[in-house]
Structure 1
């Protein structure tokens, strides 16, 4: 059956194809729902349930699916299976997936399934974005630019709409802005994006890529986004790893390499000239001139990583043929989601910034580079990451550091090695009382007029908070309480 599975697409006869969907979250439900629509025999398995999952399970069961939501449901792969479709985040070592590989059963991710289910008569091109940090901001910027150009476009994938839902929409999209995590790319085999970018590559998810070659495997999965690219491989001139990925990629003949830089761009790249974002890649006279895209003042933030994301989004849009004006209008209209370098308050000369979305060291370093002097609030779940390079890069900016969370000692050790003179206050990981209140009080004690207190934890949040949003909300609430109490 596996040879037949390799040829399955939107036009195939799916009746009799037995599919196990691993995971019943947002993407798992979308996959199961659309596979049922195509006529496949679907079994969905998940270790957890909730009221929402139970309702969706009941809906699909009335349509003929088998749904099991309980501890142990994913321990054993059923006997009669032709294909496994896995949700993002499932490690290859998960019993269900390992058993599939052992039995020679193909394993697809939702991205692979979506690529195959595109309408052959109206297949929207994919503009694909990955990277350790900045993916969501960049893909949302890209969506804003494409819509400013009058295109029916939507951000999909790791953010927004599940890709399967987008490709199966009865009203076709003109183009899709696709955010892809390394997990999603790991299970993707045939995607051919019109253009793609790897924004950056730094340590992250080393709890998922936990072997001796974990970092190399992580980067290799990121690099898969460039395979079979049709028009432009956009890369980060400041990150040699991304250039090497482009050099190694097997692309469609004619595809170009386009770099983005916070410096003056060479011919063939996009970058900055004083306060202008400019294009020297997608204009006829690129050897001798540059086309203005927008100004720094048009952007919601002048932070270096935010500007880099804007340049990457602009490059993908320009590769698709979008006008300079649409790039400007789209970037001007874009505002980032909450908890990304969000201004919380200013009082007594101290600015309070919430960048709770900075959940790994690379993201925290990018955020810290935008402010000086800084009282840095850090800690949480480190996910196997190290903080030495970050501390070396930012130690001269630090007024002090406030640490919280389970793995705070990892950050503390890096500070003691590389910035021993920087004051550090450890507020612990006790969730009782008001932990973020303790953080804010400690930070206020370190800060002086003209300083920024920056929540950029460099760690995930789930040790003490529901998610990074809840952590950022707690920080903002504690800041406002303190200001109210001291006025």
Structure 2
């Protein structure tokens, strides 16, 4: 990139890391933010970056017109005036992934999808490390990619690639790219479902002879977007079996541990990579259907990145899951209580409910512009629903006349109501299908509060 002005549209964690890298490399930088906090103002001041506060649409037009390139902060809504200004002036837009790839030549293994990204990303990293390959996790995490490349240790980067980053990438091309699944999400950021889908699909837009696409053949949207160039490797549980046509790897990058047709699957109560058995399901600590799918995806990506089957096996056997992802909080009087607070879409709620036999569901929060009616298809597995938060009326409407629904005005009331509705053998699931920002600062805070209240409830009943 030439030393011309770069505009950072938004100045939170990712663009602060971009700003630091750009200034170190001699690029003049201007930043603008609609609501900068004290940290942003301090950070910009330390770097000597001119941070414009709360520009109006005309000011955005001038800022973009005077920039050679614009780097939007991940999650900046597509309706934001900065994008309209870029379109009007013809100013190119690049992502932090583009910049990191320009500045560092080490390979990246990228994972996108509506749900499961964090789990699969961390599993891949564990598989690589267990195979003796130094790996670093970056992207839609606490460490932006442009910050991760400062570390000389990793031989490879495992990137959690959100639609927010992919949608604005112009040249990013991972060595291995996995698309896990697709369902409506982030319609508070993307202009339409088509825009969200296009952002995900851009993961494979620049596939070439040396790249590998890991495709979930159970998901028809993912399968339909499989690239025609590069290697294509399939995985799945056989639920949809939307097989794709593409270039099959004649020889797997891992050499003698090749997976034949690139088929990662469940067979005979075990996970398989082609003709290689990876691990019996009985040896896994997490074996719900979506967990098995995540495990197969991680194995496919890790082995494409050079992981050894023994390293994959070790990581799978040790995997205990992540906080706030279908984590068992407690069991009392034959009822299990699960914290699935990370669930912020109807798609993830459906996956959680399908993993149990009978549940009382706690759902709601701040809707992200999604159709919560999509949750209705799992009503047959629900004894009742407790609706919470701003979206409680939408949750009520989704399950009306399908199963009993009660409304709770606090998490305390929700836990108490769910416990009263549950029967022996049921599971109480906090799987909200919505963001947490109506009542909480994060999904983690929401999950922690739920777990605390469950422990209090159980403790008080002993």
**How far is the alpha carbon of 1:73 from its aligned partner?**
7.4
Partner SS, residue 411 of structure 2: helix
In the alignment, the residues of structure 1 paired with residue 162 and residue 205 of structure 2 have an alpha-carbon distance, to the nearest angstrom, of 15
Q: How does 1:433-444 map to 2 (within 5 A)?
A: 435-444=410-419
Partner SS, residue 140 of structure 1: helix
Q: Which residue of 1 aligns with 2:458?
A: 483
In the alignment, the residues of structure 1 paired with residue 402 and residue 37 of structure 2 have an alpha-carbon distance, to the nearest angstrom, of 49
2:32 counterpart of 1:52 = no
Deviations along 1:54-107, one digit per CA (max 9) or x if unpaired, are: 33223212xxx2233x33378524253211111111123311232122111111
Q: Which of residues 414, 418, 431 in structure 1 aligns to 2:398?
A: 414
Deviations along 1:159-191, one digit per CA (max 9) or x if unpaired, are: 24210122343x152111111111111101111
2:272 counterpart of 1:278 = yes
Task: Assess if the C-alpha contact under 8 Å between 1:263 and 1:273 holds in 2.
Answer: no
Task: Assess if the C-alpha contact under 8 Å between 1:231 and 1:319 holds in 2.
Answer: no
Partner SS, residue 338 of structure 2: strand
Q: Which residue of 1 aligns with 2:253?
A: none
Task: Assess if the C-alpha contact under 8 Å between 1:152 and 1:174 holds in 2.
Answer: yes
Task: Assess if the C-alpha contact under 8 Å between 1:46 and 1:73 holds in 2.
Answer: no
Task: Assess if the C-alpha contact under 8 Å between 2:78 and 2:190 holds in 1.
Answer: no
Q: Which residue of 1 aligns with 2:329?
A: 344
Partner SS, residue 89 of structure 1: coil
In the alignment, the residues of structure 1 paired with residue 91 and residue 10 of structure 2 have an alpha-carbon distance, to the nearest angstrom, of 17
Q: Which of residues 198, 223, 226 in structure 2 aligns to 1:220?
A: 198
TM-score by length of 1: 0.86
In the alignment, the residues of structure 2 paired with residue 73 and residue 147 of structure 1 have an alpha-carbon distance, to the nearest angstrom, of 48
Aligned CA RMSD, in angstroms, stands at 1.9
2:10 counterpart of 1:23 = yes
Partner SS, residue 425 of structure 2: coil
Partner SS, residue 107 of structure 1: coil
Task: Assess if the C-alpha contact under 8 Å between 2:218 and 2:238 holds in 1.
Answer: no
In the alignment, the residues of structure 2 paired with residue 45 and residue 60 of structure 1 have an alpha-carbon distance, to the nearest angstrom, of 14
Instruction: Give the aligned length.
Output: 438
Structure 1 unaligned blocks of 5 or more: 1-7, 9-13, 281-289, 429-434
Task: Assess if the C-alpha contact under 8 Å between 1:228 and 1:250 holds in 2.
Answer: no
Q: Which residue of 1 aligns with 2:154?
A: 173
Cα 1:398–1:56, aligned 2, differ >3 Å: closer, same or farther? same
**How far is the alpha carbon of 1:278 from its aligned partner?**
0.5
In the alignment, the residues of structure 1 paired with residue 442 and residue 307 of structure 2 have an alpha-carbon distance, to the nearest angstrom, of 36
**How far is the alpha carbon of 1:296 from its aligned partner?**
2.3
Partner SS, residue 94 of structure 2: strand
TM-score by length of 2: 0.90
In the alignment, the residues of structure 2 paired with residue 72 and residue 298 of structure 1 have an alpha-carbon distance, to the nearest angstrom, of 56
Partner SS, residue 8 of structure 2: strand
Task: Assess if the C-alpha contact under 8 Å between 1:380 and 1:404 holds in 2.
Answer: yes
Q: How does 1:38-187 map to 2 (within 5 A)?
A: 38-61=25-48, 65-68=49-52, 70-72=53-55, 75-76=59-60, 77-78=62-63, 80-118=66-104, 123-169=105-151, 171=152, 173-187=154-168
In the alignment, the residues of structure 2 paired with residue 235 and residue 372 of structure 1 have an alpha-carbon distance, to the nearest angstrom, of 29
Cα 1:467–1:486, aligned 2, differ >3 Å: closer, same or farther? same
In the alignment, the residues of structure 1 paired with residue 347 and residue 195 of structure 2 have an alpha-carbon distance, to the nearest angstrom, of 18
Task: Assess if the C-alpha contact under 8 Å between 1:402 and 1:427 holds in 2.
Answer: yes
In the alignment, the residues of structure 1 paired with residue 108 and residue 44 of structure 2 have an alpha-carbon distance, to the nearest angstrom, of 30
In the alignment, the residues of structure 1 paired with residue 193 and residue 82 of structure 2 have an alpha-carbon distance, to the nearest angstrom, of 24
Cα 1:274–1:390, aligned 2, differ >3 Å: closer, same or farther? farther
**How far is the alpha carbon of 1:250 from its aligned partner?**
5.3
Deviations along 1:120-145, one digit per CA (max 9) or x if unpaired, are: xxx21111110111111111111111
Structure 2 unaligned blocks of 5 or more: 242-259
Range with greater deviation from structure 2 (262-271 or 136-145): 262-271
Q: Which residue of 2 aligns with 1:285?
A: none
In the alignment, the residues of structure 1 paired with residue 37 and residue 79 of structure 2 have an alpha-carbon distance, to the nearest angstrom, of 25
Cα 1:334–1:436, aligned 2, differ >3 Å: closer, same or farther? same
Cα 1:389–1:421, aligned 2, differ >3 Å: closer, same or farther? closer
Task: Assess if the C-alpha contact under 8 Å between 2:235 and 2:264 holds in 1.
Answer: yes
Q: How does 1:292-371 map to 2 (within 5 A)?
A: 292-371=277-356
Task: Assess if the C-alpha contact under 8 Å between 1:201 and 1:239 holds in 2.
Answer: yes
Task: Assess if the C-alpha contact under 8 Å between 1:45 and 1:73 holds in 2.
Answer: no
Range with greater deviation from structure 2 (262-271 or 146-155): 262-271
Partner SS, residue 381 of structure 1: coil
